[in-house]
Amino acid sequence: MDNRKDRELGMGQGITRRDFLNGVALTAAAAMLPSHLLAAADMQATREQSPDYYPPALTGLRGSHPGSFDAAHSLRDGTFWEKAGTPIDSGESYDLVVVGGGISGLSAAHFFRKVAGPKARVLILDNHDDFGGHAKRNEFSAPARTVLGYGGTFSIESPAPYSSVAKSLIRELGIGVASYSKYVDENLYRSFGLSPKIFFDQETFGADRLVINPMKRLSGESEDSPEGAAVLKKFLQEAPFSDQAKADYERLVTEQKDYLFGLNSDEKKARLARMSYNSFLSDVVGVSPEVVKLFQARPQPSFGIGFDAVSAQDAWGAGEPGFTGMHLDPAPGKGMNRDAIPNQEADKYFFHFPDGNASIARLLVRKLIPQAMPGHSSTDIVTARANYAMLDQEKSPVRIRLNSTAVRVKHQGDPASARGVEIAYARGGKVCTVQAAHCILACWHVVIPHICEQLPDKQKEALSSAAKVPLLYTNVALRNWKAFQKVGASSIYAPSCYHSHMNLDLPVSIGGYACSQKPDEPIVVHMMKTPCKPGRPAREQHLLGRVELFNTTFETIERNIREQFARAVGPGGFDPANDITAITVNRWPHGYAYQYNSLWDKFWLEGGETPCEVARQPFGRIAIANADAGAYAYTDCAIDHAYRAVGEITNKVPKN
């Protein structure tokens, strides 16, 4: 890319995107360690007490931001303790220490207080500079007002119905899921002539072209595409497909053929569970490679991988074409990924806040530390400004300590009879210890074997297998969406681009917050990428993708974003050098909890104990929560396993 092209894309423009450099300075200090850097630790505390400490408004590289993972990676590499020196005893003791300030950790603290009482002393440690785990809030200062985006967890939704525990917590937080239709303007984009589109790129399909999207909505996509014969006809006219590919696509979506004639429904499902949807399309239906390429990235928003690594049975469950003539019994087949099992009751339980489920995390913080989160309702939470200086106050029974990575969790003596647990954590260049009667590990399971060496080997192995799905959730703030209106796009599926999905923000106005209502108003465009390596087993793709995300600079991601905007909506007059006002890339190398899959996890298809059941066993005074405990990448899972973990350490059922 030459300098002139960079200038046209606006690479040098003074948008808000590089605030993260402050974080880098602290990271460098933390990497130096040990005790002579006490000054760095003090600097950390002072910084968090400042009224300017407000992570949701930071832009640039967020999610697992620079500085959040150094201590954990150093532990993994076996270099941490040689640099750390002897931990300093803080003299603090708690009834419960929770490792991980995501929705599971915050819920665990909430449930624990129901059993132990409001005076119980609880400390929550998290390695990020903000609470909420994956449920993160992004704020942008647009001219005259603040525009919100979700940095991770998008909404209250789950392929299976929420449990009574999870529903009851949502109710207790005051969220009226049934009232969602009051807040969302479902017709907004349609009323301006916008609809879902597909962007075909030149490198893959021979021409850059934005075309009407005739495909059914998949889980993870925000809007239905218009359906019907006229839309199909228009798509086939516009798509830069060969004649053969056009004929194949039409046949795939209209033909009602039994492609596995002669087998009964169970036999067909067993066959489909063992082949990828890509193989089904090319080898069984016999469509051309262009059609396979079009479908490839469709499952990425929910599965984190493409159709090369998702089974045909899961594609059937998700509603992809090719199965209408196959007489499959609608009951879920053996080995289906839980994301692929349709459930109408679950579909109805949906609620999206403008900052996603960060609002749930913020409502939980309000319950735990009221002085840190002003307001009283689940609607005023949307505009409430958190007071981060209140999170870790000595007088408060509940404290949230950010920028703090737990590095060692061990019983004081024999786990079977110990009276307490000692937790060591790294923060701002020093390592401190605190004592606790109990500890709940609500952090990522892959971390646990490195911080809790006392665990049995079999359990450590199971914990280590919960490697997460990597993704980018990118928010791009725009001056307006006039170019989107001109090209008629409310969302763009771009199967072969850097980000495979881009959507105008879901139009939700709630409390004092109003979404963008006219094309000349500022808006956030949400983009998603999963760094897949098609053709390899799922876990290998995730591992390589994780490495890619850690090694990609913000500059590279920014250039890709600008180029994608220029190509997809440039024909509508979009000027990336002028129309982009801020970029926040939420980088999640450890993203979704890994969900079992019939192509790659034999036990899931054939039965037997699952690794997550082995991984989540309590151990002395330590219990294990997090969505990894259910191998299910949803908020309700994080809540359910917090509830279970609290029950295990207290031997009581928290009242909910």
Nearer to ligand FAD, 128 or 269 (CB): 128
What are the φ and ψ backbone dihedral angles of 329, each rounded to 5 degrees? -60, 130
Binding mask 632-651 for ligand FAD (x = CB under 6 A): -xxx-xx-------------
The distance of closest approach from Cβ of residue 378 to ligand FAD in the complex, given in angstroms and rounded to an integer, is 17
Nearer to ligand FAD, 135 or 483 (CB): 135
The yes or no reply on residue 363 touching ligand FAD (CB under 6 A) is no
Choose one: 12-20, 243-251, 427-435, 442-450; the region binding ligand FAD (CB under 6 A): 442-450
110-114: list long-range contacts, CB under 8 Å, 24+ apart: 110/169, 110/364, 110/367, 110/368, 110/642, 111/642, 111/643, 111/646, 111/654, 111/656, 112/440, 112/646, 112/649, 112/650, 112/654, 113/368, 113/397, 113/398, 114/654, 114/655, 114/656
The yes or no reply on residue 449 touching ligand FAD (CB under 6 A) is no
Nearer to ligand FAD, 177 or 231 (CB): 177
Footprint (CB under 6 A) of ligand FAD, residues 455-474: 471, 473
| 320 closest CA partner among 334, 302, 347 | 302
Strands 209-212 and 88-99: unpaired
For residue 305, give both structure tokens: 């991988």
Distance CA 116, CA 389 (A): 26
Binding mask 614-633 for ligand FAD (x = CB under 6 A): ------------xx-----x
Q: What is the DSSP string of 575-623?
A: -HHHHEEEEEEEEEEEEEPP---TTT-HHHHH----HHHHHT--BTTEE
Distance CA 619, CA 453 (A): 12
Footprint (CB under 6 A) of ligand FAD, residues 560-619: 588, 591-593
Q: Using alpha carbons only, what angle is made at residue 327 by residues 324 and 332, rounded to the nearest 5 degrees?
A: 95
Count of residues of this chain found to bind ligand FAD when the rule CB under 6 A is applied: 41
The distance of closest approach from Cβ of residue 423 to ligand FAD in the complex, given in angstroms and rounded to an integer, is 9
Footprint (CB under 6 A) of ligand FAD, residues 180-219: none
Do the Cβ atoms of 115 and 650 come closer than 8 Å? yes
Rg (CA), the chain: 25
Nearer to ligand FAD, 162 or 259 (CB): 162
Given 9, 29, 58, 72, the residue binding ligand FAD (CB under 6 A): 72
Q: At what angle do helices 635-650 and 164-172 cross, to 10 degrees?
A: 100
Choose one: 88-96, 128-136, 283-291, 546-554; the region binding ligand FAD (CB under 6 A): 128-136
| 441 closest CA partner among 87, 67, 102, 75 | 102
Given 44, 59, 74, 104, the residue binding ligand FAD (CB under 6 A): 104
The yes or no reply on residue 148 touching ligand FAD (CB under 6 A) is no
Determine the 3-state secondary structure of 197 from DSSP: strand
Number of Cβ within 10 Å of residue 243's Cβ equals 9
Distance CA 562, CA 484 (A): 15
The yes or no reply on residue 337 touching ligand FAD (CB under 6 A) is no
- Residue 139: its H or E element: strand 137-142
The distance of closest approach from Cβ of residue 628 to ligand FAD in the complex, given in angstroms and rounded to an integer, is 7
Determine the straight-line distance between the first and last CA of the chain, rounded to whole angstroms. 57
Distance CA 465, CA 612 (A): 9
The distance of closest approach from Cβ of residue 431 to ligand FAD in the complex, given in angstroms and rounded to an integer, is 12
Binding mask 368-387 for ligand FAD (x = CB under 6 A): --------------------
Given 10, 67, 102, 306, the residue binding ligand FAD (CB under 6 A): 102
Binding mask 255-294 for ligand FAD (x = CB under 6 A): ----------------------------------------
The distance of closest approach from Cβ of residue 636 to ligand FAD in the complex, given in angstroms and rounded to an integer, is 6
The yes or no reply on residue 443 touching ligand FAD (CB under 6 A) is yes
Given 17, 65, 134, 546, the residue binding ligand FAD (CB under 6 A): 134
Q: Report the length, in residues, of the chain.
A: 656
Given 13, 16, 93, 155, the residue binding ligand FAD (CB under 6 A): 155
Residues that bind ligand FAD (CB under 6 A): 72, 99-105, 125-128, 133-135, 152-155, 157-158, 405-406, 442-444, 447, 451, 471, 473, 588, 591-593, 626-627, 633-635, 637-638
